[in-house]
Structure 1
């Protein structure tokens, strides 16, 4: 048996004082008590500074790109980033890629992440994931205007499923696939939702009008598109993705309230809006309108994106960035835990502290007097 206490605990969207969590020898939560007295002097009880949390969820990452840390200059804008990605991503040995992935996996686990929604363009991470303590949901991404079907992604997903991993096929975005390939990718059915990059830059909407840097890049490289008739990324999502699918929409820096309303009204399945503010700042000096999502009362989750587009895979950094936009701490914590678990469809078994469940326990410490994030705020895994 193990007893764990702290100043606070985060339970079902709210913060409570003076908790004691009792774990069985098998790591199952046997009891959660709050408002206890003398918690720092209880016998046989470990006491920690800060807030006790369940495992966090990084709802959007590209861990297979971890070898690209520092390889792309920040602040150049979205189209420049996309160009650079194509130029630098293959200049590394398999061993360099493997070692970088292993470091990223350890970093995520040690900072309290227990589940990741991970984008995969190949099989390079599958072997490591078989022995990782992190529960990965693998979104096998179909990417490239030259694809006519989702068969390349199906083959990769099949290898992952054969290795015992949770995998599903998804389109990359509304700007990088032909109409037929996109339709084929979203037609795949299974327990894994879709994860689609959406309105990360203003260029995505301009492309549908033949304007902007992305449209010019496509012309220069003789790429043609057959989806401009949809008129906008939002309209393409609504008209091409079946309403019953569960879907994660990633980044969302340039969505409007009307976009949110139209998407939410279209889907009968679960819609999750995933925000990666530090990545958006790294690439384009932009940020998602977190306050708008809070006002609309929609499901939100948090991601770190990748070491190609971020200085670290720091969930506490992403949480601090959202808090700086005025999001209350209990909402930030919900987005980082249950919001992500619901997005990935794993809320019934992971990332919630409750009697009878097995969960990792993490401390969030170093907050300010008003529970604001500071430079000293850190996450630490207890179990």
Structure 2
């Protein structure tokens, strides 16, 4: 049996929505992008949502909007995908890495210890779709002693008056926080990824959620960022295409990172049935939990803890008391059965670029401990009970073959 790791969910509704875009004669940014923004806005509870061509470009744009410049620091976890740190570099800042906790997410104590007068933003990451401790993080940046440390270096920073919290919500569309608050509405800014392997996809894409406090006007900021995502051009392509509408102006240093309607069509059809898709992901997660609860070597990933609930994006299984080499051999054994698994993630300090920039994995022991024994299992709505039983058997047999324990 061949079981892929994370195929996109494509049904007739998705196909029809894309075909509708093709037949419309308008395939770049237009009505379907706006409809998708509205769907995500209504679902997440965010004040405004702007769709762009990737999480990474959205994060770069928002850090540039914040006024990040050389020497400014942005706190991130050491355990995340490279885009989290690369966005900081591309925006002109310096990433400051802190260790994680046993639930994969960034340590709030680590954040506090890393804050300096150079700190302009904190970029927590909802690993596997499980939310970080945002009550604690938002309380931290609003504490008088922390606000006193903050040294604004741009007009936006002065207006905010404290460190910005930008949630890397790439995995967590559909996750809920305390009191049922959905991810996307719990921090100043949150950015979802709509990449091909995510719960909701547009092939490539991202969705920036704006929830800035007063005196910011999120609606006005949406308009500004929309233009910024189109090279700060005063007219979009649709307006320019109308008879006599050719004249435009460029009002700033923008980026070309808009999402196209043909991409938005995929996500739009999926968002309309997302509660159903999320229910199916939770079903798969539950089957794994039931199976691995019987094994004393298995550490199940967090799902529902202290009022927080995952988006069930990744089933990040950990295996007790094994080495990194043993984990790799277990993955090799699973692959022989035709089951595709993955690892989320290789900690940043283990990657060449970050090692060359002075980061050392020895400084992040929990991140390494999470990584060395983690195996991500397939989790998506299309998985059948028969396929899940096959995956579970493959994992258990691989463990027995490598670790030799009962």
Q: Same-fold call, TM > 0.5? A: no
TM-score by length of 1: 0.28
More strand by share: 1
